[in-house]
């Protein structure tokens, strides 16, 4: 199949969180013989710095750009996956984070930036960029790409579209005036289109207009159809439920493998787990914590935002540190939460080490060195850190929600005795539940190291690699294109298939240029 994978970040070119991990590794997992997968990204400075062998492919005249927008082409991460970059310096060549400026506030022209990106994707998807390649499927991810299915839905002859929700709370909401300023087709301003309580919603473009909608775990797929997790879109998601699938994210087992990890103190696997202790001692040494195997060393890696429940950790530090527990925190996000963590680190210098910022190497070293990884997220669409921690023999302590519920087996009497447990979970995201669960983990850790190592090994043996999940995406792509089975003769284009791509010049003119 020919698949255009459309995203605002992809590791290792540009990353702010799990979206990049997924959008860097899923396309490579999809790229089996017979599948031509190409990623399209904005040409941020970091991406231009890391991508090699780029050539200029086309120049497109797009609404929203005063000058033609260049499409650069190359290969993604030395793989078979193709790479397209949308190079519009005025929109994308600026320092720092793709979405926010130095002070943490959104770039004021985000709507223009990602509308332009969407229009470039649409041009490519419809064959207007003269690449000689026309995808059967356009796979979009999160609100930054939400206008792609909406704009493509205006074309009778177009590729099939799939929209993946990685986090429903980020919706790309803008005032109605932006809708007009972006010169979007009038027909899209409706409750079935981009309008959301009088505002322009980018994510609605994906949810309402894509042929299929997915999200990143089966439990989150159910949760977002409820008012608790639906962020106001639960009605639309219920309406689309026949076309909504939860597919669990996979993990990149090359990048996250303790046996080969070049960032960590000492590599290890299930046969030489004693080397994991060297990583714990190194983490304690590097972060000024008293060294030793006895205290339970907890790690937290992630955005410091309300979603992740980190404020719940902050209010229970005193109770937590009554026990032989240490904590290393790596993250950035909400400025107030960052400050509270930094202040707390001063109060508990021999218990708590806090690193504000983004640090890939330290993330690996915490995964390797900690005994447990704390993820008390209020909601978690999938979560990748807990999968990495399983692979690193670092026992997850998690709130039972979304993908955390789908990946972690809580230790209780039954799962302890049949050795199916992989972590410690709690049902309510409250400070008390976090303390209780950490203390439960500590007791298990102290009671018997043999049982602890058994718990660790069960987690390390879990397979959360991509093949099973990538196969589910491929099945959806085939369904969307009317290719019910994968025999070679059925992989071509069918005249009646929605995957058939032909140019519809009149509509292109109207909606893209």
- List residues binding ligand ADP (CB under 6 A): 17-19, 21, 301-303, 330-332, 358-360, 363, 382-385
- In angstroms, what CA-CA distances link 487 with 27, 192, 337, 338? 21, 37, 54, 54
With 0-12 CB in 10 A as exposed, 13-18 as middle and 19+ as buried, what is 80?
middle
Tell whether residue 22 is a contact of ligand GLC (CB under 6 A). Answer: yes
Tell whether residue 326 is a contact of ligand GLC (CB under 6 A). Answer: no
Which residue number, 301 or 310, has a Cβ lying nearer to ligand ADP? 301
How far apart (Å, rounded) are the C-alpha atoms in residues 232 and 113?
25
How far apart (Å, rounded) are the C-alpha atoms in residues 272 and 283?
19
Piece in contact with ligand GLC (CB under 6 A), picked from 17-25, 61-69, 204-212, 231-239: 17-25
Q: Please choose which of ligand GLC, ligand ADP, none residue 331 contacts, taking the beta carbon within 5 to 8 angstroms, the exact cut-off set by kind.
A: ligand ADP
Which residue number, 205 or 331, has a Cβ lying nearer to ligand ADP? 331
Q: Are 109 and 91 in contact (CB under 8 A)?
A: yes
How far apart (Å, rounded) are the C-alpha atoms in residues 104 and 45?
19
Sheet containing strand 55-60, edge to edge, reads 55-60, 69-75, 82-87, 36-42, 2-6, 137-141, 160-165, 212-215, 244-246
Tell whether residue 171 is a contact of ligand GLC (CB under 6 A). Answer: no
**10 Å Cβ neighbour count for 199?**
16
Q: Please choose which of ligand ADP, ligand GLC, none residue 216 contacts, taking the beta carbon within 5 to 8 angstroms, the exact cut-off set by kind.
A: ligand GLC
* Cβ 358 to ligand ADP shortest distance, Å: 4
* Cβ 301 to ligand ADP shortest distance, Å: 5
How far apart (Å, rounded) are the C-alpha atoms in residues 216 and 164?
7
28 CB-near residues (< 8 Å, 6+ apart): 37, 76, 77, 79, 80, 81, 466
Q: Please choose which of ligand ADP, ligand GLC, none residue 432 contacts, taking the beta carbon within 5 to 8 angstroms, the exact cut-off set by kind.
A: none
Torsion-angle region of 34 (φ positive above 0: left; ψ -120 to 50: alpha; else: beta) = left
Tell whether residue 167 is a contact of ligand GLC (CB under 6 A). Answer: yes
Q: Please choose which of ligand GLC, ligand ADP, none residue 363 contacts, taking the beta carbon within 5 to 8 angstroms, the exact cut-off set by kind.
A: ligand ADP
How far apart (Å, rounded) are the C-alpha atoms in residues 53 and 55?
7
Tell whether residue 140 is a contact of ligand GLC (CB under 6 A). Answer: no
Which residue is closest to ligand ADP by CB? Answer: 18
Which residue number, 261 or 380, has a Cβ lying nearer to ligand GLC? 380
Tell whether residue 373 is a contact of ligand GLC (CB under 6 A). Answer: no
* Residue indicated by tokens 């999200």: 215
Which residue number, 319 or 359, has a Cβ lying nearer to ligand ADP? 359
How far apart (Å, rounded) are the C-alpha atoms in residues 131 and 338?
46
Which residue is closest to ligand GLC by CB? Answer: 18
Give 465's DSSP letter. B
Tell whether residue 178 is a contact of ligand GLC (CB under 6 A). Answer: no
Q: Please choose which of ligand ADP, ligand GLC, none residue 358 contacts, taking the beta carbon within 5 to 8 angstroms, the exact cut-off set by kind.
A: ligand ADP
Tell whether residue 214 is a contact of ligand GLC (CB under 6 A). Answer: no
# residues contacting ligand GLC (CB under 6 A): 14
128: tokens are 């207007």
Residues in contact with ligand GLC, shown as a per-residue x/- string from 330 to 369 under the rule CB under 6 A: ----------------------------------------
Residue of 101, 94, 155 whose CA lies nearest to 123? 155
Tell whether residue 382 is a contact of ligand GLC (CB under 6 A). Answer: yes
Tell whether residue 9 is a contact of ligand GLC (CB under 6 A). Answer: no
Which residue number, 5 or 179, has a Cβ lying nearer to ligand GLC? 5
Tell whether residue 401 is a contact of ligand GLC (CB under 6 A). Answer: no
Residues that bind ligand GLC (CB under 6 A): 17-19, 22, 166-167, 216, 249, 380-384, 403
């Amino acid at each position: 199949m020919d698949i255009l994978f459309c995203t605002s970040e992809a590791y290792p070119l540009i990353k702010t969180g799990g979206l990049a991990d997924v959008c860097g590794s899923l396309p490579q997992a999809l790229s089996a013989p017979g599948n031509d997968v190409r990623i399209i990204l904005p040409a941020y400075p970091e991406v231009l710095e890391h991508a090699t062998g780029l050539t200029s492919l086309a120049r497109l005249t797009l609404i929203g750009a005063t000058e033609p927008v260049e499409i650069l082409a190359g290969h993604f991460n030395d793989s078979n996956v193709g790479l397209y970059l949308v190079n519009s310096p005025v929109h994308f060549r600026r320092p720092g984070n793709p979405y926010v400026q130095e002070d943490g506030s959104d770039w004021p022209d985000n709507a223009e930036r990602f509308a332009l990106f969407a229009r470039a994707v649409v041009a490519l998807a419809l064959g207007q960029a003269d690449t000689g390649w026309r995808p059967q499927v356009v796979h979009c991810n999160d609100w930054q790409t939400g206008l792609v299915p909406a704009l493509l839905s205006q074309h009778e002859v177009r590729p099939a579209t799939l929209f993946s929700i990685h986090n429903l709370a980020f919706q790309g909401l803008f005032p109605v005036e932006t809708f007009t300023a972006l010169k979007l087709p009038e027909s899209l301003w409706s409750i079935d289109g981009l309008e959301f309580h009088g505002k322009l919603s980018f994510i609605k473009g994906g949810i309402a207009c894509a042929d299929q909608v997915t999200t990143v775990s089966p439990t989150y797929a159910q949760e977002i159809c409820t008012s608790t997790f639906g962020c106001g879109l639960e009605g639309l998601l219920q309406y689309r439920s026949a076309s909504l699938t939860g597919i669990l994210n996979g993990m990149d087992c090359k990048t996250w493998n303790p046996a080969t990890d070049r960032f960590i103190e000492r590599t290890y696997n299930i046969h030489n787990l004693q080397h994991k202790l060297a990583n714990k001692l190194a983490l304690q040494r590097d972060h000024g914590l008293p060294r030793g195997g006895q205290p339970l060393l907890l790690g937290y890696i992630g955005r410091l935002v309300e979603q992740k429940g980190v404020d719940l950790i902050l209010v229970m530090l005193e109770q937590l540190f009554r026990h032989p527990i240490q904590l290393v925190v790596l993250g950035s996000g909400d400025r107030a939460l960052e400050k509270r963590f930094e202040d707390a680190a001063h109060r508990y210098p021999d218990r708590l080490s806090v690193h504000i910022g983004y640090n890939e190497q330290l993330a690996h070293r915490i995964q390797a060195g900690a005994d447990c990884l704390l993820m008390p997220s209020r909601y978690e669409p999938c979560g990748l850190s807990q999968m990495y921690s399983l692979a690193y023999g670092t026992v997850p302590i998690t709130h039972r929600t979304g993908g955390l519920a789908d990946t972690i087996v809580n230790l209780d009497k039954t799962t302890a005795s049949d050795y199916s447990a992989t972590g410690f979970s709690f049902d309510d995201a409250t400070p008390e539940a976090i303390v209780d669960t950490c203390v439960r983990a500590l007791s298990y850790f102290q009671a018997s190291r043999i049982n602890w190592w058994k718990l660790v090994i069960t987690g390390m043996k879990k397979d959360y690699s991509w093949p099973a999940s990538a196969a589910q995406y491929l099945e959806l792509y085939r369904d969307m294109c009317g290719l019910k089975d994968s025999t070679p003769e059925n992989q071509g284009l069918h005249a009646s298939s929605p995957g058939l791509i032909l140019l519809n010049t009149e509509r292109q003119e109207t909606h893209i240029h």
